[in-house]
Amino acid sequence: MEEILEKLLEAVELGKVDQNSPYPPQLKGQEGSYELTLKAIESKIGPQRILEESLIPAMGRVGQKFSENKIFVPQMLMSAKAMGASMILLKPFFASGDLKAKGTFIIGTVKGDLHDIGKNLVSMMVEGGGWSIIDLGVDVGSERFIEALKNNPGAVVGLSALLTTTMVNMGEIVSSIREQIPGTKILIGGAPVNADFCQKIGADFYAPDPQGAIEYLNRQAS
């Protein structure tokens, strides 16, 4: 792997946002994820490799260390910030050049859950796939999904959850949508969910990653 991708992985893992950021003390004065992502882009390393070889593995390591009680919420938050600084720079690469959208995709992280990195990634890539995006943010309950659907008839809905305690809220949201706006296509994703759970709560499709979401959405559009 290029040295720059290794450095970026380390910067995100340790929560180094940019050169001026005082955290973590051992990387004081060194480049952070912002500068390293810029350099990677300038070196013509594609956004997909930056994501797959640095950013996503970094968050995997962070999760592992959190599970082992080697780091705590504040450190996890700094890593999320560092990842966010990179994602801002990657967004233009995923943004759509298409003028006419294939359809509308309403996405949100479900009630009780504040994790938005994966959701943002999905929305960025789906937008790049030619869909118009309505991102409802985090901690979203059924009422807000239904309101957005009423304003955008025929839109496909995407639900994200990262916690085993909040994935259950997906079931309640799916039921409410089914009751009020039958026929809506609902896609779910996030680390704790899978195809079995999708079937159990009556959603239409589970995708493990943005690519799977795009493929499903394109099947709906054609």
* Residue numbers at the binding site for ligand B12 (CB under 6 A): 56, 59-60, 62-63, 66-67, 73, 76-77, 80, 112-119, 121-122, 158-160, 162-165, 187-192, 207, 209-210, 213
Q: How far is the CB of 69 from ligand B12 (least distance, A)?
A: 10
Q: Which is nearer to ligand B12, 20 or 67 (CB)?
A: 67
Q: How far is the CB of 2 from ligand B12 (least distance, A)?
A: 21
Q: Which is nearer to ligand B12, 10 or 209 (CB)?
A: 209
What is the number of residues in the chain?
A: 222
Q: How far is the CB of 21 from ligand B12 (least distance, A)?
A: 17
Structure-block tokens of residue 6: 């290794």
Q: Which is nearer to ligand B12, 3 or 113 (CB)?
A: 113
Q: Which is nearer to ligand B12, 28 or 70 (CB)?
A: 70
Give the 3-state DSSP-derived string for the chain, with helices as H, strands as E and coil as C: CCHHHHHHHHHHHHCCCCCCCCCCHHHCCCCCHHHHHHHHHHCCCCHHHHHHHHHHHHHHHHHHHHHCCCCCHHHHHHHHHHHHHHHHHHHHHHCCCCCCCCCEEEEEEECCCCCCHHHHHHHHHHHHCCCEEEECCCCECHHHHHHHHHHCCCCEEEEECCCHHHHHHHHHHHHHHHHHCCCCCEEEECCCCCHHHHHHHCCCEECCCHHHHHHHHHHHHC
Q: How far is the CB of 42 from ligand B12 (least distance, A)?
A: 24
Q: How far is the CB of 161 from ligand B12 (least distance, A)?
A: 7
Distance of CA 101 to the CA centre of its chain: 21
Q: Which is nearer to ligand B12, 29 or 119 (CB)?
A: 119
The one-letter amino acid code at 18 reads: D
Q: How far is the CB of 192 from ligand B12 (least distance, A)?
A: 5
Q: Which is nearer to ligand B12, 168 or 181 (CB)?
A: 168
CA angle, residues 172, 162, 77, in degrees to nearest 5: 135
